[in-house]
Structure 1
Amino acid sequence: MNKRPRDEPSSSFASAPKRQYGAGGGGGGYGGHGYSEERSSARRVADHYSARSNQTLEERENSPIIHLKKLNNWIKSVLIQLYAHPGDCVLDLACGKGGDLIKWDKAKVGYYVGVDIAEGSIKDCMTRYNGDTDQQRRKKFSFPARLICADCYEARLDEHLYEDAPFDICSCQFALHYSWSTEARARQALANVSALLRPGGIFIGTMPDANVIIKRLRETDGMEFGNSVYWISFGEEYAEKDAVDCPEWVVPFHLFKLLAEEYDLELVLTKNFHEFVHEYLQKPEFSELMRRLGALGDGRQDQSTLSQDEWEVAYLYLAFVLRKRGQPPSQRRANNANRGKMFLTENDIDFLGV
């Protein structure tokens, strides 16, 4: 099969020439790595994303998967618009370079805490928050922020964020499956979310759709499949040095749901990206957002649109929403945004065991 043109990787395997899936994927369980090996794997992920450079607007628009990226941004925007409320306190796990900051700003949230394992990414997130990027913002963000460099699948965040909690909404986009390399990491990820969300709080996210991926694997000969813009390999060593050397794990969603329930997180919604697009594109406010983002063209002068291969990649993902059990408090906790700042320096970034 043809490989797609070389492009920068992102937090989704759709953007990489090749991905490897660990033992936890095909068998419906967790991977069997030991602790030291797992730390090494997490460090490779961190080093990989730290090494990625910020792109200019022109570079992003020239990406061969630009429409797929815009579609992903539309889905994340819809999730945030559906479940975030003005004044909400936000916990953004695996926040990366802060690509969703503008989405949270448009939702008029009151406080933002971003956590990422990659030091380079968290520093880029700080730069973006401060407005010091090539794409200079017209105005400052309306909410104070705090940034933490930590492995949120290893560290106990509730101990460090005790004075910041509870949060109204937590987000983890295209990254939660990294926690499923071991049962301990999967549990710590959900324990952090549950401990930091208020009763009635919402956990939104996106991850690979295990049902679709395993179905595709069963339909193909061998242990690999893909198209011109993505490639997935199960359990084989990389043959090319330019592949993204970050093993990933398929998360069987029924197991994810059962494990989440142990941490008082109840399933509200799960939809494959294709189903998600078909449903929410019917709503005028979201169809207008799609037009503005341009994933399907703007319906006017710009007739460019998502390619069939990019649409096939979208089918490999799902969106989910979980709710923490319990009744929401009668009034919002005051002052939990006091630790945030409206301008951040590197000295403001907290480093937890990374």
Structure 2
Amino acid sequence: MHNGERGTPGTPSGVSRRTDPNVPPADPTATAAESLGHFYSQDAKDISRHYSGHQTAASSTERAQSAIFMLREFNNWVKAVLISHFGVSNNAALDLCGGKFGDLSKYMGLGASYVAVVDIALLSLREGILRFNQTLVKLGSQAACLLEEAGREVTDEAILSRISEQAPVVDFIWGDCFMHNLRDHFKQQGTSFPFVSCQFAMHYAFETEQRARCFFQNVGSLLQPNHHFVATIPNKRVILDRLSATNWTYSPEDPTPPKVGNGAYHIRFDALSGPVDTLPEFGARYTFFLADAVDGDT
């Protein structure tokens, strides 16, 4: 899959690139096995199994018919704005919990030269690798057509040169950024990042103080000084305000709050050990359900 080129201009050393973009991998499982570094913890298995159980890809028509189509469009717009505004063109980016690599086109639009994608869900990473390889195939075909139209010789080198102008080098890393030190992995490459992103996943860090500290230590050690870390995360105050609006009052006989939500979503809370205003800083769990989407615990 890789030719092991080092020191590619505009990318960190030690990063490898696909050699033949016109030949997709026959087996994405094999591709993943070749491409992944392993930082995996027992504590991450529940989350990994959760996301790996939602890998059925929807067609564009099915997505358009989804009850949350406009919400997805809004979320994608938010991510696109964050990445384009704070990311650094012709440079590296770290995408934590990037899974299926749905933000590939956003990094291509930014002009990123290298993206490291870290996730604990192996099947999500496999889907991300497949998405990336399919994009390379498409770019390779387009490059070949353009070369032919220009009357130039169609060679692997010419195709790769055109692809490198449009697509970043990408590493997919199987890792738990909430429980393991990622710094040692990137230190071997001499890599740090002017841009770090974690979209719709950072709430998993707050299960325990240890997980939160580990996550922010990873971010702090890998982010270059005076650059940006961006994330999206549920608003605790809004969630609690919506619970308060139900006029529910805690009692030992009734420790479980009612569900809150609407036709598109609802939140189910775990039983509490005291009133809402005594919730702990870490480990206050709830389950979020969104129509046509992956349900998530926090």
Tell me how far apart the structure 1 counterparts of residues 224 and 135 of structure 2 sit (CA, whole Å): 33
User: Which amino acid is the alignment partner of residue 150 of structure 1?
Assistant: G
| SS at 1:208 equivalent | coil
2:184 equivalent to 1:153: no
- Equivalent of residue 142 in structure 1, options 153, 167, 185: 167
Tell me how far apart the structure 2 counterparts of residues 128 and 210 of structure 1 sit (CA, whole Å): 34
Match of 2:297 in 1: 247
2:91 equivalent to 1:88: yes
Q: CA deviation at 1:60?
A: 1.3
Q: What is the correspondence of 1:114-133 to structure 2 with a 5 Å cutoff? A: 114-131=117-134
User: Which amino acid is the alignment partner of residue 113 of structure 1?
Assistant: A
| SS at 2:233 equivalent | strand
Change (3 A) 1:164 1:115: farther
Residues 162-207 of structure 1, C-alpha deviation per residue, up to 9 Å, x if partnerless? 1152111000000001011000000000000010111112101100
Residues 304-337 of structure 1, C-alpha deviation per residue, up to 9 Å, x if partnerless? xxxxxxxxxxxxxxxxxxxxxxxxxxxxxxxxxx
Q: CA deviation at 1:85?
A: 2.2
Match of 1:235 in 2: 270
Q: CA deviation at 1:218?
A: 1.0
Residues 282-319 of structure 1, C-alpha deviation per residue, up to 9 Å, x if partnerless? xxxxxxxxxxxxxxxxxxxxxxxxxxxxxxxxxxxxxx
Match of 1:204 in 2: 230
Tell me how far apart the structure 2 counterparts of residues 146 and 183 of structure 1 sit (CA, whole Å): 29
Change (3 A) 1:143 1:132: closer
2:242 equivalent to 1:216: yes
Q: CA deviation at 1:86?
A: 1.2
Task: Please tell me whether the aligned partners of residues 88 and 195 of structure 2 are also in contact (alpha carbons under 8 angstroms).
Answer: no
Match of 2:46 in 1: 44
Change (3 A) 1:195 1:66: same
Q: CA deviation at 1:54?
A: 1.9
Tell me how far apart the structure 2 counterparts of residues 101 and 85 of structure 1 sit (CA, whole Å): 15
Task: Please tell me whether the aligned partners of residues 44 and 245 of structure 1 are also in contact (alpha carbons under 8 angstroms).
Answer: no
Match of 2:217 in 1: 191
| SS at 1:85 equivalent | coil
Q: What's the TM-score once normalised by structure 1's chain length?
A: 0.54
Task: Please tell me whether the aligned partners of residues 165 and 197 of structure 1 are also in contact (alpha carbons under 8 angstroms).
Answer: no
Match of 2:199 in 1: 173
Tell me how far apart the structure 2 counterparts of residues 204 and 194 of structure 1 sit (CA, whole Å): 12
More divergent stretch after superposition (216-225 vs 75-84): 216-225
Task: Please tell me whether the aligned partners of residues 86 and 109 of structure 1 are also in contact (alpha carbons under 8 angstroms).
Answer: yes
Task: Please tell me whether the aligned partners of residues 112 and 146 of structure 1 are also in contact (alpha carbons under 8 angstroms).
Answer: yes
Q: What is the correspondence of 1:14-53 to structure 2 with a 5 Å cutoff? A: 39-40=42-43, 42-52=44-54, 53=56
Change (3 A) 1:44 1:188: same
Match of 1:76 in 2: 79
User: Which amino acid is the alignment partner of residue 56 of structure 1?
Assistant: S
Change (3 A) 1:39 1:216: farther
Tell me how far apart the structure 2 counterparts of residues 116 and 86 of structure 1 sit (CA, whole Å): 23
Residues 230-281 of structure 1, C-alpha deviation per residue, up to 9 Å, x if partnerless? 001111598x9x9967521xxxxxxxxxxxxxxxxxxxxxxxxxxxxxxxxx
Q: CA deviation at 1:88?
A: 2.1
Task: Please tell me whether the aligned partners of residues 90 and 169 of structure 1 are also in contact (alpha carbons under 8 angstroms).
Answer: yes
- Equivalent of residue 103 in structure 1, options 102, 106, 109: 106
Q: CA deviation at 1:39?
A: 4.0
Change (3 A) 1:244 1:143: closer
Tell me how far apart the structure 1 counterparts of residues 102 and 295 of structure 2 sit (CA, whole Å): 22
Task: Please tell me whether the aligned partners of residues 118 and 174 of structure 2 are also in contact (alpha carbons under 8 angstroms).
Answer: yes
Q: What's the TM-score once normalised by structure 2's chain length?
A: 0.64
5+ long unaligned stretches in structure 2: 1-40, 144-162, 249-256, 272-285
Task: Please tell me whether the aligned partners of residues 86 and 108 of structure 1 are also in contact (alpha carbons under 8 angstroms).
Answer: yes
Tell me how far apart the structure 2 counterparts of residues 144 and 57 of structure 1 sit (CA, whole Å): 26
Tell me how far apart the structure 2 counterparts of residues 39 and 68 of structure 1 sit (CA, whole Å): 33
5+ long unaligned stretches in structure 1: 1-37, 249-354
Q: CA deviation at 1:84?
A: 1.2
Aligned residue pairs total: 207
Tell me how far apart the structure 2 counterparts of residues 173 and 164 of structure 1 sit (CA, whole Å): 25
Tell me how far apart the structure 2 counterparts of residues 184 and 130 of structure 1 sit (CA, whole Å): 36
Structure 1 runs of 4+ off > 4 angstroms?
A: 135-141, 242-246
Q: Which has the larger radius of gyration?
A: 2
